[in-house]
Chains A and B, each alone.
Chain A
């Protein structure tokens, strides 16, 4: 699903956010990217959804080399991905339903169909009665669930989440993680960047460790250890 060959990202004048990364993520895997602040977790995710371009190396996503892409190809790549951010990135002037449906409409889904799908997803994520609320009227956990619904509305092959629980309390964080596990159970590949080691202990899955831009560890739990 995802392959990185000797990938580096160097910011001027000479700061290596990522250096010589080799990584392979198989289809249907659930992977945590872990490491302290500044380890390169976010940069790695940004390379995967092509917000950044690698300075060196090759990146393959779903069989396609995404290292060098033009604007149109970047848009097509993102249509296959589901992105979730720490700060939710919801539009405060739109309702929860409209926020989710927007993602469907921009890729060409008819308005009615987009809204229907958005409503269905919000209901599945426990926001049936909140679909008409605007983000400022929702709790952090609810906002993150809206963001997750938006990430799922185009049936992504890969979900990338950058510190999705960073702005949530422990209970909400746990609930949000269970949502990602449900998504994973349905066959979607999920990659979550987090610095929260507690999460890694509670949800036992493959963890890729980064430190100062280098991949310093890759641990897979033994069979039976995985949380569900």
Chain B
């Protein structure tokens, strides 16, 4: 396409955006809603993933000791536990440290501990597992071994719900693609309808252009560019909407949620996620236009 024709195409795009303003707004709005829902899933999934990653790195087995061990007994126990291939590190928490930590956790309510002895909590070992062993099954196997050691009282490890959360994330991931897929197809049809409307509105112009020898590319280009603009505009609105929604949630999610989420709580979509959303909008707009043009021109000329 020549430069002069490029300017011709953009003038036609501008004219169409002006003349069919509300039709374009409606299509962009529909795309924005679709992408908002898709982006919402993306946001939830990313945050739950982050949560799981954080928890995964924190999968620990807690060993509560039966009594305060003598230093040499404690050294021997630590040495033995550290020799296990699935153990990354072991930290000894004395009765005093456990008490102080507990008081800290209670914060303003620490007063309820008044009158209790400081050695009421047992000493313990916090055992972090190596990467590949950060699963409930591996933690359970280690717990079995630990229970057989001298001086070991109770052993605790991550509960089943952590794994269920993993399944939930997987579910959201699937829902994102399945629901997103449906919405994607629906949006393509909507974009297609807008292109058809724009086509019908300019049918005479297109017919005349064809009669005077306008190349097909010159006739189609404005519609494709309009689709792209609609897609990118819709995606940008969706992204902005998600950001507002995120801010709204961020202020309302209970503070305790932050305790569970290592790294400081909720996160918005990163640059990659945002770019994916905009590209998706672009692809929807372009794809919808091309699909519709193909169908419409075929039917018209046939």
Contact = CB atoms under 8 A, between A and B. Distances in A.
A91 B7 CA distance: 20
Given A108-B5, A110-B4, A111-B4, A89 B211 contact: yes
Contact of B214 (A80, A107, A110): A107
Contacts of B209: 102, 106
A154 B8 contact: no
B255 interface: no
A150 B5 contact: no
Given A106-B8, A108-B2, A111-B8, A91 B212 contact: no
B215 interface: yes
Q: Which 8 A-B pairs have the closest CB atoms?
A: A78-B213, A79-B213, A106-B214, A103-B212, A110-B4, A108-B2, A75-B213, A75-B215
A150 B8 contact: no
B154 interface: no
Contacts of A106: 5, 8, 209, 212-215, 218
B204 interface: yes
A14 B49 CA distance: 68
Given A110-B4, A111-B4, A102 B216 contact: no
A49 interface: yes
A89 B207 contact: yes
Contacts of B212: 78-79, 83, 102-103, 106-107, 150, 154
A91 B205 contact: yes
A149 to B, nearest CB: 12
Nearest to A71: B216
Interface string B1-44: 01011011000000000000000000000000000000000000
A102 B213 contact: no
Contacts of A49: 211
Nearest to B5: A108
A75 B214 contact: yes
B70 interface: no
Contacts of B215: 72, 75, 106
Given A105-B4, A108-B4, A72 B216 contact: yes
Contacts of B2: 108
A115 to B, nearest CB: 12
Contacts of B218: 106
Interface majority SS (helix, strand, loop, mixed), chain B = helix
A102 B214 CA distance: 10
Interface of B: 2, 4-5, 7-8, 204-205, 207-216, 218
A56 B212 CA distance: 26
Nearest to B301: A71
B208 A109 contact: no
A122 B260 CA distance: 78
B291 to A, nearest CB: 18
Given A72-B216, A91-B204, A108-B2, A78 B8 contact: no
A110 B5 CA distance: 8
Given A51-B211, A83-B211, A90-B208, 8 more contacts: A49-B211, A75-B210, A75-B216, A78-B210, A80-B213, A106-B214, A111-B4, A111-B8
Nearest to B208: A89
Interface in A108-162: 108-111, 150, 154
B290 to A, nearest CB: 16
Contacts of B4: 105, 108-111
Nearest to A85: B211
A100 B237 CA distance: 40
Contacts of A75: 210, 213-216
Contacts of A60: none
Contacts of B210: 75, 78
Nearest to A79: B213
A169 to B, nearest CB: 25
